[in-house]
C-alpha cells in the first residue's frame, strides 16, 4: 500500500477529506520522527512500539571488490509489534 492509498482509505473510513487525512498522517509521522530523533520511544498499545537502538561499528565487505570496509556505529529506528498486531497477522 502506498501513502496515497493509505490516505484514501483513512479519508473514506473516517468520512473526512483526503486533504485532512493527509495532514493528519503527515503530522503523525512527523511526531514519530521527532520523538525518535530525541531518542524517546513511542508505544501505541495494541499496535507496537517505535524506538531507537544503537548499532555497533563493524567491518563489512564491498560486494564488488571484496575489500574490507569499516562501517561506523550508528543509531537506527526499530519497531516491535504489539501482541494484538501479531495475533491479527498470524491468523
* pLDDT tens for each residue of 19-58: 999 999 999 999 999 999 999 999 999 999 999 999 999 9
- For the chain, which residues make up each domain, given as ranges? 3-83
- Regarding pTM above 0.85, the answer is no
Architecture of domain 3-83: Irregular (4.10)
User: What is the pLDDT at residue 4?
Assistant: 96
**pLDDT interval class at 91 (50, 70, 90):** confident
Cα(36)–Cα(56) distance, integer angstroms: 18
Distance, in Å, from the CA atom of 11 to the CA atom of 52, rounded to the nearest integer, reads 30
Rounded CA gap, 19 and 75, in Å?
33
Amino acid at each position: 500500500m502506498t501513502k496515497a492509498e493509505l490516505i484514501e482509505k483513512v479519508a473514506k473510513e473516517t468520512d473526512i477529506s483526503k486533504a485532512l487525512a493527509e495532514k493528519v498522517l503527515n503530522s503523525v509521522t512527523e511526531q514519530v520522527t521527532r520523538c525518535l530523533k530525541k531518542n524517546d520511544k513511542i508505544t501505541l498499545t495494541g499496535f507496537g512500539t517505535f524506538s531507537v537502538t544503537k548499532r555497533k561499528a563493524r567491518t563489512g565487505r564491498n560486494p564488488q571488490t571484496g575489500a574490507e570496509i569499516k562501517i561506523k556505529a550508528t543509531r537506527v529506528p526499530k519497531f516491535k509489534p504489539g501482541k494484538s498486531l501479531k495475533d491479527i497477522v498470524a491468523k
